[in-house]
Amino acid sequence: MRSLRLWGVVVALIGAALIVAPAAAQAPTSAPARPKPKPSTADRPEPGPNAAAAMAAAGGAKPTLLGQYGDWGAYTAVPSGKKVCFVLAKPEASETVPPNRPRNPSFMFISTRPADKVTNEISIIIGYPFRSGSEASAEIGSTSFVLYTQQDGAWIKNSTEEAHMVDAMRQGQTAVVKGTSQKGTQSSDTFSLKGLAQALDRASAECK
């Protein structure tokens, strides 16, 4: 599975991110692949509200915010000397059944790793361990995509549909991710897609 080799790094980064600052309360838990840090001038964008999440996504390297576009931030970083670009967002609304069940913050990432020949890989950190062997789903408009799960992460099950999912997100308004926790809690996270297309274009330009 695509996530296995990055899981140990991500888990360690999450712990670090949660100590960083108030933004850490909104830090993500993991996603396969991350960006590069870029020292810069006064024109560099501010870190933004998802700074801790970006650090986790950067695989240990300090990420550079390329720009904030609506609800999505575009980042780059160079973990282990390999340049990565990604966009990320947190949900605009989250619900659980039963209601108000405790969970860590959730995030959605779309990552590009030129060295691994990976473009626009979608990954979701849900904020709790998924039920073992369960599938999750992502609904974009009238289209639903099946996700496979591992620990607290989810990825599109049929990788040949990934480009289609990205296209649907570029044109859609929201993405609703649903899953079931190890304890049977059902969750529904609604991600706004405002600014996603611009964020992806910026990340793509950086990681050509």
Average pLDDT over residues 173-190: 97
Instruction: Round to whole Å and give the CA distance between 57 and 85.
Output: 10
Token reading at 3: 């996530």
| Res 57: pLDDT | 54
Q: Is the pTM of this model over 0.85?
A: no
Q: pLDDT over 70 for what percent of the chain?
A: 71
pLDDT higher than 70, residue 147 = yes
Instruction: Round to whole Å and give the CA distance between 206 and 112.
Output: 10
Q: What is the separation, in whole angstroms, between the first and last Cα of the chain? A: 25
Comparison of pLDDT for 105 and 59, the residue scoring more = 105
CB 92 within 8 A of CB 179: no
pLDDT, tens digit, for every residue of 88-109? 999 999 999 999 899 999 999 9
| Res 14: pLDDT | 31
CATH superfamily for domain 4-206: Invasion associated locus B (IalB) protein (2.60.40.1880)
pLDDT, tens digit, for every residue of 167-181? 999 999 999 999 999
50-68: buried (b, 16+ CB within 10 Å) or exposed (e) per residue?
A: bbbbbbbbbbebbbbbbbb
Instruction: Round to whole Å and give the CA distance between 63 and 101.
Output: 31
Average pLDDT over residues 2-27: 34
